[in-house]
A and B are shown apart, each in its own frame.
Chain A
Amino acid sequence: MSNAFRPLPAVLLMLCAGFSASALAHNPMCECKAIDAEQIQCTGGFSDGSGAPGVTLDVIGYDETILVPGKLGADSKLTFKKPNAEFYVLFDAGPGHVVEIDQADIQAP
C-alpha cells in the first residue's frame, strides 16, 4: 500500500495495513517569512499537523557554505538574521526528508 512509503513508525503501518488503504501522508513541510527587514522566521512541521522540534534547519549559501546552522526550537520555529549572501533554507529531517526554500520564495514582511 502506498502508505508503506512513508517514514511512519512501523506499528502504525501494521495497524493501517488493510485497515486503511489510504494515502494518509505525513510529509515534511516548512514555511519561511521575513518578520522584519532583518530577520527571517521559519516554521517546520509535517502535513498531519505535528511539529518538528529539534529538527535541523540550515541556512546555506548558493556556494554551499552553511551560513547559519540551526535546529528548530520547541515551538518548531527558528529565527535568524538574513544573510548578506544569496542563500536557501534547508529543513532537514534526515536523508530524503528535506524541504528546500529559496530566498526568492521568502515573503517580505
Chain B
Amino acid sequence: MDPMLGSPQPRPSHPYKTLIMSKKSRSKLWFLVHSWLALPIWFFVLIVCVTGTLAVISQEIVWLANPQMRASQPEGDAPLLSYDQIIAAIKQAEPQILVESISRPDESHFALDVEVTYPDGRSVVVYVNPYSGVIQGTAPQFNFRAFTRALHGWWLVPFTNGYSWGWYLVSFLSLPLLASLITGLVVYKRFWKGFLRPTLRLRHGARIFWGDFHRLSGIWSIWFIAVISVTSTWFLIEAFMFDNQITISTAPVAPVVPRESVPLTADGSPAPMISLETAIREAKQRIPGLEDSFVSLPANAYSYLSVGGRSWYPLMFHTAEINPYTGDVAVTRLLSDRSGLELVTESMRPLHTGDFGGLWIKLIWFFFGLLLSMMVLSGLLIWTKRTALATANALKRSHKRPRTADAAQATRRDTTEVSQ
C-alpha cells in the first residue's frame, strides 16, 4: 500500500535498507506523478466530470421535467402508428407544417422527436405521441440536453473553422485521466486486494475517510475510467484528424440522386414520392432485420430518403438511402461495410455516453460518472489536507532553519502524519 495515502498497514523495517529505499523512492515518484496529474486543473476536471455525468441522463431529466415528451398510451393496448400515419396526423392538425425527419427514441416511454418547419421559417423539434399522432408540444427554446452536451463537450466554445478549441481543451483532459488511472494503480500496490477486503473507515477523520473513498471508488471504477479516458482520447485524435483532413472513413461518396432519375411533371407539380412505409419495406427487404428507428425525408429534390436503426451490435447503426421516386435502395451502410478500425472508432462515442442500451446502461454510466466526479473531489481534498498542512509547517519553520533541512523535515513530518 502506498504510505502517503494513509496505509492501514505498518511499514516494515527491513535490513535491506537500500533496496527498500529505492523501491520506496520509486513509488514515491509514481505517487508524485499521480498527485500532480489533475492537480493544477482540478476544478476544470471536476466540472467536466459533473457536466458529463449530467449529459448522460439529460434526456431523462427533460422527460421528468416536461410531460410533453412522454409517450403515454391512450388505451390499454393501442398499437404504434406507422410513420405515414404520424405524418398524416400532423398534417391534419397543422396542414402547413412540413416534416423533415422522425425519430423514435430508444426508450419507449419517450414521444417521437419530429423535426418540422413552420411557414414562418422556424425549424424545431416537436414531440409527437407515437400512438395517437398528437403533437404534444414543441421542444423548449432552452435545450437542456444540447446545452449540457455542449458544455461538457466543447466548453461552449463555438465551432468556426473545424473543431473548436474548447473541444481540444476538454478532450485533452483524457491524457491526465488515463495517466491518473495508470499511476494510481501503480502506487496502490496489490489493489486487487481492495476488491476482497473493501476498506472505508468512517471514524478516523476526514483525511482517512477521503483516502479510503478515493481508493475504494478507484478500484471499482477502473473499467469506467479506462472507457472514458480511451474514448475521450479518441475524441482528441478525431478532432486532430478532421482538422488535418485525415480520414479513415470507408463510407462511399455522399450519394445524390442523379438528375435524370428525378421525373419531370407536365403540370409542374412535385413528382410523386413513394410512401414511407414502402420505403421502409424496400429497405427491410434489402437489409433483413433492419430497425426503422428513424426516417429522414429528402432534404431537396435530389436527395435520398434515409431509413436506419441499430444493428444487432448496439453501438452501430444500419442505414439505407432510398430513391424517393422509385423506391430503389441506392446505398446501404451496414455493420459489415465498416472496416475493423471503423468498428472500433465508431463505437467510441456510444461507449463514452452510455447511450446504446436503454435506461439501465445510462444509469450505470451516471452512477460511475458521479463516482468519478467524487474521486476528483476526494483526490483534491486529500491533497489539500496533506499539503496545506505541510506547507504551513514548512513556512513556520523556514524562519528558523536553513531551507534544505527544513524541506527534509517537512517531508518526514508529512509522511508520518499521513501514515498514522
- Residues of chain A at the chain B interface (Cβ within 8 Å): 4-11, 13-15, 18-24, 26, 46-50, 52-55, 93-97
Residues of chain B contacted by A14 (CB below 8 angstroms): 101, 103, 294, 296, 308
Residues of chain B contacted by A11 (CB below 8 angstroms): 294, 306, 308, 317, 319, 333
Residues of chain B contacted by A19 (CB below 8 angstroms): 149, 153, 349
Residues of chain A contacted by B241 (CB below 8 angstroms): 49
Cβ A10 vs Cβ B308 within 8 A: yes
What is the interface of chain A mostly: helix, strand, loop, or mixed? loop
Residues of chain A contacted by B303 (CB below 8 angstroms): 7
**Interface presence of B383 (CB below 8 A):** no
Residues of chain B contacted by A52 (CB below 8 angstroms): 253
Cβ B256 vs Cβ A49 within 8 A: no
Cβ A50 vs Cβ B296 within 8 A: no
The CA-CA distance from A102 to B20 in the complex, in Å, is: 76
B325-359 contacts to A, CB under 8 A, are 333, 349
Task: Report B283-309 CB contacts with A as 1/0, cut-off 8 Å.
Answer: 000000000001010011111001010
Cβ A10 vs Cβ B101 within 8 A: yes
> Taking A55-B253, A94-B257, A94-B258 as contacts, is the C-beta distance between A4 and B299 under 8 angstroms?
yes
Cβ A21 vs Cβ B150 within 8 A: yes
**Interface presence of B141 (CB below 8 A):** no
The CA-CA distance from A27 to B241 in the complex, in Å, is: 16
Residues of chain B contacted by A20 (CB below 8 angstroms): 153-154, 159
Task: Report B136-160 CB contacts with A as 1/0, cut-off 8 Å.
Answer: 0000000101100110011000011
Which 3 pairs from chain A and chain B are nearest by CB?
A: A94-B256, A22-B159, A10-B306
A-B contact pairs, 28 of them (CB 8 A): A4-B299, A7-B255, A9-B254, A9-B319, A9-B333, A10-B101, A10-B308, A10-B319, A11-B294, A11-B333, A14-B296, A18-B145, A19-B349, A20-B154, A21-B146, A21-B159, A22-B159, A22-B163, A24-B159, A48-B249, A49-B242, A49-B247, A50-B247, A50-B253, A94-B255, A94-B258, A95-B301, A95-B302
Task: Report B250-264 CB contacts with A as 1/0, cut-off 8 Å.
Answer: 010111111100000
B51-72 contacts to A, CB under 8 A, are none
**Interface presence of B245 (CB below 8 A):** yes
Distance of B51 from chain A, by nearest CB (Å): 14
The CA-CA distance from A7 to B254 in the complex, in Å, is: 6
